[in-house]
Amino acid sequence: MKPGTLYGLGLGPGDPDLMSVRADRLLRAARHVAFFRKAGRSGQARRIVNGMLHADAIEFPMEYPVTTEIPVSDPGYNAALSAFYTDCVAHLRALIESGEDVVVLCEGDPFFFGSFMHIYTRLRDHVPVEVVPAITGMSGAWTATGHPVTWGDDILTVMMGTLPEETLATQMSSSDAIVVMKIGRHIEKVKSALKQAGKFDAAWLIEFASMPNQTVQKLADAGDKITPYFSIIVVHGQGRRP
Amino acid sequence: MKPGTLYGLGLGPGDPDLMSVRADRLLRAARHVAFFRKAGRSGQARRIVNGMLHADAIEFPMEYPVTTEIPVSDPGYNAALSAFYTDCVAHLRALIESGEDVVVLCEGDPFFFGSFMHIYTRLRDHVPVEVVPAITGMSGAWTATGHPVTWGDDILTVMMGTLPEETLATQMSSSDAIVVMKIGRHIEKVKSALKQAGKFDAAWLIEFASMPNQTVQKLADAGDKITPYFSIIVVHGQGRRP
C-alpha cells in the first residue's frame, strides 16, 4: 500500500484570501482535515476555513487535554500534552499508512511556534510529510498597523508574553523592532517590560489581525483592556530611510 | 477623476505557488506592474512572476542608481537613493491620479525590510494604498531546512549580515533562534559572530529558498562558499517540546 502524505498546511493570519495558492488548492481537495482546538470550542483554525472544505471531507478535531488549567512549569503539563500528541499521531499515521492524504490545519506558519511541530517530529521519519509555509500572524499584525516593521539594518526580536518580565525588558532594550505574541493575561507584565525598556509609547496592540473583528490601536490607548491570548504587540523599528 | 490604488504586493519567498490567493488574483489582473531591480539585471521580483502577467500589462522597472558601489555610510548613498525614490514616486503617483491601479512587486513581505516602504511612505498620504502581506523569505528558508524554527517560549532574533560583528555576536548570544539575512560578502563576519556565540555548529545556510535553485546545508559544511546577498542563515530554537 502506497502511503498518503501528511500536509502541515499553514493558513496564515486568518483571512482566507491570505492563504497561499498552494494551501488553498490542497485544502479544497482534502478528504481528511485535522485541526487542534480547545475542548468545547469550534477552534480558530477550523473557523478560518469555514465554507472551504470539500463536501466529502472527514474532520478530525484534536482537543487539547489542558491549556491554562495546569501551569506550563508543572511536569503534569508536558506529560498530558505528550500523551495527547501520541494519541493524535496514532490516528493520523494509521490513515496515512492506509493510503490517505491528511491535511493538518495550522494557524500562521507551521514551523513558527504552534502545535503542528509536535505532530511533525513524531511522524516525519515514518510517513511522507510536506510543510506549506504561510504568512505569520505577526506579519498580519504589522501590516494592520499601516507602518513597516523593519527598515535598513533594524534588529527584530520576537518573544512570547509568557516569558519573565526581566527577560522581556532586557530583550526589548537591545532590539530595534519588537513583536510580542501570546499576550492575553500577560498584558500587564508586557506593558511593564515595555515601560522599563522605554518603548511603551511606541507600542501597538493588534487583536485578530486580518480577520473581520480586527482591532488596531496604540497600546497606550488600550487602557485596562482585556485582550485575547492571540493578540500581538508590535514596536516598529526606526532604521535608515532614504 | 477617481484615483486608482497603489498595491504593495508581497510575492513571498519565490515560488509563485506560495503567493497569497489575493496577490495572485491582483497580479494576474494588473495593467501596471512596477518593480525594483539592479541596472542591467532582469530583477528577482520580476523573475518570480514570469508567465503570470496580463497580456496588456505595462511594466515599469525601477533601477537602483547604486547598490554596493557606494558604502551605505556615505552620505552620497542616501542622497542618490532619495532622489531615485522621488523620481519613481512621481511616475507612480501620476498614473494613480489618472485613475490607474498600480501593482508594485515586493519580494517577501512588503513591510518586512525591502524597498517598497520608501515608495509607501512617500505616497500613503496622497493616493489610496493597499498592502498585501506575504510569506517572508526567512519563512521559506526555515521551512526548507525541515526543522521548526521556534518552539515553546523561544526568543527569535532577526538581524542583517551588514551589522558589525560585535552586535551580531551579542544578539546571537542572547537569543534562542536566529535568522541572519543579507549575507553575501558578509559571510565570514557572520560565521565569526556565530562562533563567538557558540552557535556556528547549529547554523544552516539556505540559498534561493523555495526556488528551483534552492540549496540547504549546514553552514559548517559550506566551506568557503561564495553565497548570494539574499542567502539566509538560520539557527533553530530548542524550546519546550512535549
Q: Which residues of chain A neighbour B142 with C-beta distances below 8 Å? A: 111-112
- The closest of A193, A118, A208 to A157, measured between CA atoms, is A193
* Mean pLDDT score across all residues of chain B: 95
Structural domain boundaries in chain A: 6-132, 137-235
ipTM score: 0.95
Strands B32-38 and B58-64: parallel
CB-based contact, A16 to chain B, within 8 Å: yes
Q: Are B107 and B18 in contact (CB under 8 A)?
A: no
- Interface membership of A204 toward B (CB under 8 Å): no
Judged by a CB distance cut-off of 8 A, whether residue A108 touches chain B is no
Tell me whether residues B139 and A163 touch, CB distance under 8 A.
no
Contact check, Cβ <8 Å, B85/A175:
no
pLDDT in tens, A45-54: 999 999 999 9
Counting as low any pLDDT under 70, the low residues of chain A are: none
Name the CATH superfamily for B6-132. Tetrapyrrole methylase, N-terminal domain (3.40.1010.10)
Residue-wise pLDDT for B179-211, tens only, equals: 999 999 999 999 999 999 999 999 999 999 999
Instruction: For A99-145, write each residue's pLDDT tens digit.
Output: 999 999 999 999 999 899 999 999 999 999 999 999 999 999 999 99
Q: B222 and B191 in contact (C-beta within 8 Å)?
A: no
Q: Which of A18, A111, A154 sits opposite B149 (nearest CB)?
A: A111
Q: Name every residue whose Cβ is closer than 8 Å to that of residue A21 and which is 6 or more positions away in sequence.
A: B16, B17, B18, B19, B20, B21, B24
Residues of chain A contacting residue B133, judged by C-beta atoms under 8 Å apart = 13, 18, 135, 139-140, 143, 210
For residue B230, the model assigns a pLDDT of: 84
Q: Does B136 touch chain A (CB under 8 A)?
A: yes
> Could B171 and A174 be called an inter-chain contact, meaning their C-beta atoms sit closer than 8 Å?
yes
Measured between CB atoms, does A139 come within 8 Å of chain B?
yes
Across the interface, which of A19, A81, A159 has its CB nearest the CB of B20? A19
Interface residue A28 vs chain B (CB under 8 A) = no
| B61-113 per-position pLDDT tens digit | 999 987 777 777 788 888 888 999 999 999 999 999 999 999 999 999 999 99
> How many Å lie between the alpha carbon of A99 and the closest alpha carbon of chain B?
23
Domain B137-235 fold: 3.30.950
A125 in reach of chain B (CB within 8 A): no
**pLDDT for res A191:** 97
CA distance A224 to chain B (A): 25
Secondary structure in 3-state letters for chain B: CCCCCEEEEECECCCHHHCEHHHHHHHHHCCEEEEEEECCCCCHHHHHCCCCCCCCCEEEEEEECCCCCCCCCCHHHHHHHHHHHHHHHHHHHHHHHCCCCEEEEECECCCECCCHHHHHHHHCCCCCEEEECCCCHHHHHHHHHCCCCECCCCCEEEEECCCCHHHHHHHHHCCCEEEEECCHHHHHHHHHHHHHCCCHHHEEEEECCCCCCCEEEEHHHCCCCCCCCCCEEEECCCCCCC
pLDDT, position A1: 84
**C-alpha cell, A120:** 511533525
